[in-house]
Amino acid sequence: MTATPAQTRGGWVHLGRCQVLGLSGFLVVGAGVLVGGALALVPLGVGFWLLPPAAGLLRRVSDRYRARATRWTGRPLSPPDPLPHGTSARRGSAAILGDDGFWHDLRWAWLEPWTGGLLAAVPLALVEYGAFGALVQPFVWRRLGDGNWYAFVPVTSTPTMVTALLLGLALIAAGLRLAPVMTALHARLTHRLLSAPRSTELTRRVARLTDTRAAAQDVHAAELTRIERDLHDGAQARLVALGLTLDEATRLLGTDPHRARTLLLDVRATSERALQDLRDLVHGIHPPVLADRGLADAVRSLALDSHLDVAVDARLPPARLPAPVASAAYFAVSELLTNAAKHADATRVDITLTHDGTRLRVSVTDDGHGGADTSAGTGLLGVRRRLDTFDGTLALHSPPGGPTTATLEIPCASSSPKTSSSSATA
Amino acid sequence: MRVVLAEDLFLLRDGLTRTLREHGCEVVASVDNGPALVRALAQTDLDVAVIDIRLPPTHTDEGLKAALEARRSRPGLPVLILSQYVDQLYAHELLASGEGAVGYLLKDRVTHTAQFIDALRTVATGGTVMDPQVIAKLLTRSEKRGRTDSLTPREHEVLTLMAEGRSNTAVAQALHISESAVAKHIASIFGKLEIEQSPEDNRRVLAVLAYLKG
């Protein structure tokens, strides 16, 4: 059995964690017993007074386990809702008795000492018994005499002592190897038992969907208002002006053809401006290049529009992404590029686009001075709100001095394109 | 000039055909969809193709794809792409599809008939024509990068028109200056930006575009 120094160090860390789990198991037992006692006393009335503090203690203990599981695995664990309070002891207790989270905690408190405790005990026992064989037996075997056994080895002579020593070392190594496995198992168990009950998860999900739906509707309504106003102030106004000028030109045709000609040239210029207004408007709604070519080429087009040095590395499947997702990602990249140019004094930006079959991942890294904050800029806030609708996320890593990396992820499967198109790039 | 015309909207196709005829062009093929365009570009004997970028059946960039494809099998085939929008990516792709004989203009430019026919002739004779919007974007980019700081405002104007693919005569007319003044400005621009001068018009335009893109 060979192990790198890092693995061995990791083994000791995990062994320490097993020790912590073994010791805090007593706390769990204590809290579990207290709550059990309080429950037993409920029919007598006293329990109403005892249950809220006992349940509170149990929640504190379970919260400590939750925090630990999150810290050790790096995987956040969704906590249950806080324990309910009542105006009176009776009401408080009744509320606690009706709370899913409380019963979940209690179930865990009775299971944890058996399952978790056992998992933590195995590597501890192996290492401790191994230490006895390797570190204690060599010094005491002479004194213990004939009846001295270490595991299946009768330690009565130097060769058997060496055997015991080696066996002890092997057991320590096995314990260290096993410790990470056991802590991982324990973490999975904790996740399963201590995560918020399914009903709570669903309630939260519904609340979140309600929020994001409302936000999406707001964004949608604001967008429509903007389009209406842009049309009204832009193209529509120009077309009215165009009609008026045409009318005047028509009147002047007979009397002052020279002036009529000037007016007609005006009409042409106005029609061009109206077209440009419409073009800009359409570009803001859905950029043609995105519709034509899909996300990768649309981002390449953004790169060419930016005055920064932008390198695009797109590794997307040939099938198209869902249009709303592509659009959200496009406008997010556009906003991030603008930010890099405006606020970060960047000169170079690297964009990567990847899709792993279930989620689109876009990262934008600039060489600017960093220190960006999503809560500060309204632009980034808008990006985040837009991504929310898709359960997408925007992570910003921007230490002072740079570089800034923004990573956005949107869960989505890629669909087959509605039209046959393959993209060719220069 | 023998022209192949690809445009799916009947009104525009009709109008363009009339304009082209009035200016002495012969419309040898007039098509309204991508596959027909591909066939026309492969088989027709033509001097220049005028192509709307968005054609059936996909209504995306069918026209551009057909044009790029045709230029791969018939290098130097002159094409002038028309579009409701200009996109820098498409401009880059067209410029990369061979040296010259290529144009990319906004659709509404056809209303300035004289300039449009000029552009068509430039493309047919192997020249390069880019829409003022494409050039404006390239120039803003170069300015922000500080690559054109050394130019005077007048030289800037000359550079813009030159990059659009205008001849010395056209530049002189547009700026109301003499052709020799234009030549002097151009020499100065090439000196300042350290671009190699070429006596040939198209090479000159390509050199300027390459500088602006870089």
pLDDT tens readout for residues B25-69: 999 999 999 999 999 999 999 999 999 999 999 999 999 999 999
- For the cut 60, the answer to whether the pLDDT of residue A425 exceeds it is no
Domain residue limits at B43: 2-130
Say yes or no: B16 and B62 in one domain: yes
Give the CATH number of the domain where residue B44 resides.
3.40.50.2300
Average pLDDT over residues A69-82: 83
pLDDT, residue A376, reads 62
Closest CA to B209 of B168, B156, B164, B147: B164
Q: What is the mean pLDDT of chain A?
A: 87
Domain end position, chosen among B130, B150, B167: B130
Cβ–Cβ of B145/A301 closer than 8 Å? no
What is the rounded CA–CA span in Å between residue A185 and residue A422?
Answer: 47
Q: Give helix A323-342 / helix A378-388 axis angle, nearest 10°.
A: 160
User: In the sheet where A359-366 sits, what is the strand order?
Assistant: A309-315, A348-355, A359-366, A404-411, A393-397
Q: Which chain A residues touch B34 with a CB distance below 8 Å? A: none
- ipTM, interface predicted TM-score of the complex: 0.91
Cβ–Cβ of B93/A426 closer than 8 Å? yes
At residue A420 the predicted structure's pLDDT band, cuts being 50, 70 and 90, is very low
Structure-token pair, residue A88? 């009176």
Structure-token pair, residue A3? 């192990």
How close, in Å, is residue A185 to chain B by CA atoms? 52
* DSSP H or E run through A394: strand A393-397
Site from A304, A308, A334 to mutate, B interface, most B CB atoms within 10 angstroms: A304
Say yes or no: B151 and B195 in one domain: yes
Looking at residue B151, its amino acid is: L
Query: Around Cβ A72, how many Cβ atoms within 10 Å?
Result: 17
Structure-token pair, residue A324? 């709303």
Residue A304: closest C-alpha in chain B: B88
Average pLDDT over residues A183-212: 87
Contact A374, A381 (CB under 8 A): yes
What is the rounded CA–CA span in Å between residue A51 and residue A39?
Answer: 7
Cβ–Cβ of A307/B137 closer than 8 Å? no
How much of chain B, in percent, has pLDDT values that exceed 90?
71
How much of chain A, in percent, has pLDDT values that exceed 70?
95
Give the distance, in angstroms, between the CA of residue A45 and the centroid of all CA atoms in the same chain. 46
What is the rounded CA–CA span in Å between residue A310 and residue B95?
Answer: 19
Residue B112: closest C-alpha in chain A: A268
Strand ranges for chain B from DSSP E: 2-6, 26-31, 48-52, 79-83, 102-106, 128-130
Query: DSSP secondary structure string, A189-243?
Result: HHHHHHSPPHHHHHHHHHHHHHHHHHHHHHHHHHHHHHHHHHHIIIIIHHHHHHH
Average pLDDT over residues A358-386: 83
Q: What is the mean pLDDT of chain B?
A: 92
Q: Helices (H) and strands (E) in chain A — how many of each?
A: 13, 7
- For the cut 90, the answer to whether the pLDDT of residue B120 exceeds it is yes
Q: What is the pLDDT of residues A231-269, one digit of tens each?
A: 998 889 999 999 999 999 999 999 999 999 999 999 999
Q: What is the pLDDT of residues A279-314, one digit of tens each?
A: 999 888 889 999 999 999 999 999 999 989 999 999
Cβ–Cβ of A426/B96 closer than 8 Å? yes
Between A147 and B50, the higher pLDDT residue? B50
Parallel, antiparallel or unpaired: strands B102-106 and B79-83: parallel
Cβ–Cβ of B68/A424 closer than 8 Å? yes
pLDDT, residue A417, reads 47
pLDDT, residue A150, reads 83
Between B200 and A125, the higher pLDDT residue? A125
At residue B144 the predicted structure's pLDDT band, cuts being 50, 70 and 90, is confident
Q: Closest to A307 (Cβ–Cβ): which among B84, B111, B144?
A: B144
How close, in Å, is residue B31 to chain A by CA atoms? 20
Say yes or no: B47 and B125 in one domain: yes
Cβ–Cβ of A307/B58 closer than 8 Å? no
Average pLDDT over residues A152-170: 86
At residue A424 the predicted structure's pLDDT band, cuts being 50, 70 and 90, is very low
Say yes or no: B106 and B144 in one domain: no
What is the rounded CA–CA span in Å between residue A321 and residue A327?
Answer: 9
Phi, psi at B79, each rounded to 5°: -130, 140
Average pLDDT over residues B175-199: 89
Contact A333, A314 (CB under 8 A): no
3-state secondary structure of B212: helix
pLDDT, residue A421, reads 40
Contact A37, A50 (CB under 8 A): yes
Sign of the Cα torsion A129, A134, A139, A145 reads positive
Q: Which chain A residues touch B65 with a CB distance below 8 Å? A: 424
At residue A164 the predicted structure's pLDDT band, cuts being 50, 70 and 90, is confident
Say yes or no: B19 and B102 in one domain: yes
Q: Which chain A residues touch B108 with a CB distance below 8 Å? A: 271-272, 275
Say yes or no: B63 and B152 in one domain: no
Say yes or no: B19 and B116 in one domain: yes
Say yes or no: B98 and B145 in one domain: no
pLDDT, residue A245, reads 94
Say yes or no: B9 and B68 in one domain: yes
CA distances from B146 to A96, A303, B71 (A): 69, 18, 35
The 8-class DSSP code of residue A66 comes to H
Average pLDDT over residues A332-344: 88
Query: DSSP secondary structure string, A146-163?
Result: TT-EETTEE--SHHHHHH
Contact B27, B17 (CB under 8 A): yes
At residue A377 the predicted structure's pLDDT band, cuts being 50, 70 and 90, is low
Say yes or no: B202 and B147 in one domain: yes
Q: What is the pLDDT of residues B86-105, one digit of tens each?
A: 999 999 999 999 888 999 99
- For the cut 60, the answer to whether the pLDDT of residue A195 exceeds it is yes
How close, in Å, is residue A420 to chain B by CA atoms? 8
How close, in Å, is residue A274 to chain B by CA atoms? 11
What is the rounded CA–CA span in Å between residue B66 and residue B97?
Answer: 12
How much of chain B, in percent, has pLDDT values that exceed 70?
100
User: Which residues have a Cβ under 8 Å from the Cβ of B113 and sit 6 or more positions away?
Assistant: B19, B23
Q: How many CB pairs under 8 A join A and B?
A: 55
Q: Which chain B residues touch A421 with a CB distance below 8 Å? A: 58, 60
pLDDT, residue A24, reads 87
pLDDT, residue A375, reads 66
- For the cut 90, the answer to whether the pLDDT of residue A10 exceeds it is no
Cβ–Cβ of B88/A282 closer than 8 Å? no
- For the cut 50, the answer to whether the pLDDT of residue B121 exceeds it is yes
User: Which of A10-24, A58-72, A139-153, B8-22 tops mean pLDDT?
Assistant: B8-22
Say yes or no: B119 and B170 in one domain: no
Residue with tokens 């363009």: B16
Contact B136, B160 (CB under 8 A): yes
Phi, psi at B171, each rounded to 5°: -65, -45
How close, in Å, is residue A276 to chain B by CA atoms? 9
Number of domains in chain B: 2
Say yes or no: B87 and B143 in one domain: no
